[in-house]
Copies of this chain bind each other. A is one copy, B any other.
């Protein structure tokens, strides 16, 4: 027999604050997963960061494994580039000068990449390799194929951009260095100086790219 009889007072304590425990768990989880890896993070740590007991996590998630899909659903995928572009007015873009559009777009994308959650998600991806780099490149490919290509082609026809490379290649050469900078300097553990260095490198790359790609009408004969 001996059904567990306990004298101590168990169960839920009378009072507590709410504010969506589920999301607080995910916040703590992505932070710790990004910093220590999934295997290196215990539910105990996550619970402690949230201020609850581990067993309470099971009221919101099936288990440790179920946290990853939930993190993906909440913070990823990082389609920042695409989103940013979609947010812009497509007809306005085509009429603006390329250097304005590209600078503006890059600036906004970079701003997104540097949001805390985006940096955490990037680190998580790189660490756990959940098709990590695959996932990182997919948005860019989508962008090239579906969104930017026609615009760049239009610029080419307008004589604003050099025509001796296919639009896809130009876009890739514009984005790839920025992506490397992101990985190298804008991950979750990056120091202040690294972030700053990244900004400078990005700016330098954009300047370089524009001088390469643009056909400067004013200076031309």
Are A173 and B133 closer than 8 Å at their CB atoms?
Answer: no
Number of interface residues of A (CB under 8 A): 46
Bound Cα distance from A37 to B184, whole angstroms: 19
**Is chain A's binding surface mostly helix, strand, loop or mixed?**
helix
Q: Is A211 an interface residue (CB 8 A)?
A: yes
Q: For chain A residues 118-154, which have a beta carbon within 8 Å of chain B?
A: 123, 126-130, 132-134, 136-137
From B68, B129, B176, B208, give the contact of A127 (CB < 8 A). Answer: B129
User: How often does this chain occur in the complex, in copies?
Assistant: 4
| Residue-wise interface mask of A (36-49) relative to B, using a CB-CB cutoff of 8 A (1 in contact, 0 not) | 11111000000000
Q: For chain A residues 64-116, which have a beta carbon within 8 Å of chain B?
A: 64-65, 68
| Residues of chain A at the chain B interface (Cβ within 8 Å) | 1-3, 5, 36-40, 63-65, 68, 123, 126-130, 132-134, 136-137, 164-165, 169, 172-173, 176-177, 179-181, 183-185, 187, 189, 194, 201, 204-205, 208, 211-212
User: 5 additional contacts, CB 8 Å, given A134-B184, A169-B208, A177-B177?
Assistant: A37-B39, A40-B40, A129-B189, A169-B204, A176-B180
